[in-house]
């Protein structure tokens, strides 16, 4: 029984596998170059598109896919579903976002992660969504994580996502909140 994660992002794979290890599940990256144009109107549409694309190439495997966005109140939800394409590199995306919020007092934001699990023949088995609320800082803080983590501040933890240990992040993150119900489903209905 093989589980493939519809991504080329090794950081995302590592994060997901660190959560899934307690369930005895290990996700793998696709064997071939995997690239999908994320042109859906929602995170779920993009996640499903990636999963279905990969399912066609790997019709004997379970496919897990996600799409994640950072939604900033002062920017009417931007970068939102375009978070990964907001700029060409993580550093440029962070700088563009900080520049866009330069004179803003309202820095409230939330990460949302939408996930879908497909059966070996491509049927949708489970879909889930997780989110976490926070604030965008004025500068980067911390060295852990990836993407927007260094500027996403979680008030009740008094840290940015990048200041959290991997164990801390994997208990509170939007991705963990979306993933755990899927792992429970796999444990109960597949393994």
Specify whether the CB–CB gap between 9 and 20 falls below 8 A.
Answer: no
**Helix, strand, or coil here: 8?**
coil
DSSP string, 110-121: EEEEEEEEE-TT
| Cβ–Cβ under 8 Å, residues 33 and 61 | no
Annotation marks residue 67 as catalytic: yes
121, with CB counted inside 10 A (0-12, 13-18, 19+), is: exposed
**Phi/psi at 110 (nearest 5 deg)?**
-150, 145
Among the listed residues 20, 62, 60, 3, the one whose alpha carbon sits nearest the alpha carbon of residue 170: 20
Among 33, 39, 67, 149, the active-site one is: 67
| Farthest-apart Cα atoms in the chain, separation | 52
List, by residue number, the catalytic residues.
67
């Amino acid at each position: 029984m093989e589980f493939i994660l519809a991504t080329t992002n090794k950081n995302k794979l590592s994060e997901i596998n660190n959560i899934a290890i307690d369930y005895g599940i290990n996700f793998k990256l696709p064997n071939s170059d995997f690239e999908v144009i994320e042109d859906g109107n929602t995170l779920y549409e993009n996640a499903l598109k990636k999963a279905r694309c990969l399912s066609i190439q790997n019709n004997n495997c379970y496919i897990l896919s996600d799409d994640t966005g950072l939604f900033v109140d002062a920017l009417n939800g931007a970068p939102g579903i375009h978070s990964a394409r907001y700029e060409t590199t993580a550093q440029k995306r962070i700088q563009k976002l900080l520049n866009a919020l330069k004179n803003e007092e309202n820095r409230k934001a939330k990460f949302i992660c939408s996930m879908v699990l497909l059966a070996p023949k491509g049927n949708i088995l489970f879909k889930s969504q997780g989110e976490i609320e926070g604030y965008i800082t004025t500068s980067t803080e911390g060295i852990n994580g990836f993407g927007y983590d260094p500027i996403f501040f979680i008030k009740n933890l008094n840290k940015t996502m990048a200041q959290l240990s991997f164990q801390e992040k994997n208990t509170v993150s939007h991705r963990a909140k979306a993933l755990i119900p899927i792992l429970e489903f796999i444990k109960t209905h597949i393994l």
